[in-house]
Amino acid sequence: MNTHDALPMLQAFFCGGLFLMIALLFKRGESPYKFMPSLCAFGLASLFGMQWLSILAAMAKAGHWPDVSIFNTLIFGILFVLAVRARGNVSRIFDLKRRPHHAMRHKHK
């Protein structure tokens, strides 16, 4: 393995992880159903799953890792960290109104 192979492997890891987090590991529990976050979750899981499979299929077909963009890999990495932090909840990944808990406590003083 050389450094040229590390970037596609990293992108495959991020895309596969995002697909698994969003599509398979997230459990809604008692939360109310929301159409738009569910539609976004379906779209994101589909896109990340297709990218993951396309990288693995290119590896299987050609026998070497395909060329991928470092910028896409960085974006997938950032989204992966956000998805892990939100435990796969897409509405929490993109929740811009959410504030840290310590900021809420100091506001009432």
One-letter amino acid at 14 equals: F
Say if residues 8 and 64 touch (Cβ distance below 8 Å).
no
Q: What's the pLDDT score for residue 30?
A: 81
Instruction: Please say if the pLDDT value at position 82 is more than 80.
Output: yes
pTM of the complete model:
0.77
CB atoms within 10 A of CB 55: 20
More confident site: 79 or 30? 79
Cβ-contact 24, 57 below 8 angstroms:
no
pLDDT higher than 80, residue 106: no
Tokens of 29: 């529990």
Residue 105: predicted pLDDT: 55
Q: Place 99 in a pLDDT band, splitting at 50, 70 and 90.
A: low
Q: How would residue 98 be classed by pLDDT, with cut points 50, 70 and 90?
A: low
Q: pLDDT tens digits, residue range 16-70?
A: 999 998 888 887 778 788 888 888 889 999 999 999 999 999 999 988 888 999 9
Sign of CA pseudo-dihedral 80, 43, 41, 26:
negative
